Amino acid sequence: MTGAPSTALLLRATTAVSTFDRYVMPPMLVAIAADLGVPLSSVVLAVSAYFLAYGLCQPLWGFVSDRLGRVVTMRGTLLLAGVLTIASSASPDVLVLACLRGAAGGFFGAAYPSTLVYVGDTVPTRTRQRSITGLMVGVAVGTGLASASGGVLADHLTWRAAFVVTGTLALLLSWQLRRLPEPDGSERPGALASVAIVARTPTALAVLLFALLEGAVLLGALTLLPTAVEAGGASASVAGLVTGAYGVAVLVGSQLFGRLSATWSPVRLVALGGSAAVLASVLPTVSVAPAVGLLVAALLGLAWSSMHSTLQTWATQVVVTARATMVSFFAGALFVGNAAGAALVGPWADAGAFAGIYLGYAVVAAPLVVGIAVVRARWRERPAVGPPGPV
């Protein structure tokens, strides 16, 4: 990654804080439902509101970052996200919680895609996947801390404290990002031109469809994992710590697959990660015991650092002249898929039908992996059409 070492550190911190906020709520679902006196499905819908806003706002932030700059966009959105997240800690009911979390999700949605676009703007294609897997160190740290601390706070203090912590971190990071240099953006196309480039590129549309389904499966399976483990009789603390294995797996996998990406083909990485995703979806149909949940979390982490990193690297390459728009649409599709999937299975989760939910994930995951591998094997990077974009 170009620039001083602090550049990589700041980008990883951005992914860590946004990921922490995204994953701190799942281990607390049961505690929030009990505290607010509402069914579990209502709190699942509040989580869905967050993911939906997170996903739908992605294209907006892509356009904004093209106009105002990558760093300005990250700083401003983190500032507003931090304020809204702290405010959500005082939510008196589930409706207010859903509204405040949804608004916070909309602003937090700018963070991770902006880091991907920043890497796309500043890192050559030949080393880009390694830099992108480096960002997953932040994902791993954020996910691991959120999964572990969310359950512990819910059990021993209050779920509200978690939002004070993540909101404060967002405010501090917004200030620290003033040190991040802004990439050159003198030759970026306009918003409508960027959308048109994406819309007339069939491979780009295929990547967006893959992201939509991947969000429903990989993120959906992780979102419901702590609740499924609690349904098996474990405490919120144990369920959160079990899910924390995901962060460890992403941390290890990002280092391993970052190195392997120099010699392994993208199709091979997709096949390995996809196999882990399918197995992770099948195991909870047999048992949701903590030991099984630990293995599921680890497999999902390996799938994320292998298959997903390959897919999102592809998103930075498929339309070079409209990179910010493509990456923001990619992230939007990913989290809209997560939100839609969570909303769809909410009633099943309320009924404790986790075996059926994970069977559905497995049914979607298997053809998804095959589809990504086949299309990626046939794709060849072509010279950009139109004015050159930043590389």
Give the integer Cα–Cα distance in Å for 239 and 241.
6
Are 276 and 257 spatial neighbours (Cβ–Cβ below 8 Å)? no
Residue 57, SS3?
coil
Q: What is the mean pLDDT of the chain?
A: 83
Residue 288, helix vs strand vs coil: coil
**205-254 pLDDT per residue, tens:** 999 999 999 999 888 888 888 888 888 888 877 887 887 788 788 888 87
CB < 8 Å & 24+ apart, contacts of 172-175: 173/13, 173/14, 173/17, 173/78, 174/74, 174/75, 174/76, 174/78, 174/79, 174/82
CA distances to 148, 160, 163, 336, 349 from 223, in Å: 14, 19, 17, 14, 11
Region 164-183 average pLDDT: 90
Least confident of 132-141, 145-154, 159-168, 300-309: 132-141
Question: What does the pLDDT average to over 185-191?
Answer: 57
What contacts 24+ positions apart, CB below 8 Å, involve 381-387?
381/125, 381/317, 384/319, 384/320, 384/321, 385/197, 385/321, 386/189, 386/193, 386/197, 386/321, 387/187, 387/189, 387/321
What are the tens digits of pLDDT across the range 319-365? 877 777 888 788 888 878 887 887 788 778 878 888 999 999 999 99
- The tokens of 195 are what? 């959308």
Look up residue 267 and give its two tokens: 């199709």
The whole-number pLDDT of residue 113 equals: 76
pTM for the model: 0.72
Q: Give the pLDDT of residue 361.
A: 92
Confidence of residue 4 (pLDDT cuts 50, 70, 90): very low
**CA angle (341 as vertex; 360, 102 as ends), nearest 5:** 160
pLDDT value at 131 more than 90: no
Cα 363 to chain centroid, rounded:
22
Where are the domains positioned within the chain?
A: 7-378
Superfamily of chain region 7-378: MFS general substrate transporter like domains (1.20.1250.20)
How far apart, in whole angstroms, are the C-alpha atoms of residue 153 and residue 169? Answer: 16
Q: Give the integer Cα–Cα distance in Å for 91 and 105.
A: 16
Per residue in 262-282, pLDDT (tens digit) is 788 899 999 999 999 999 999
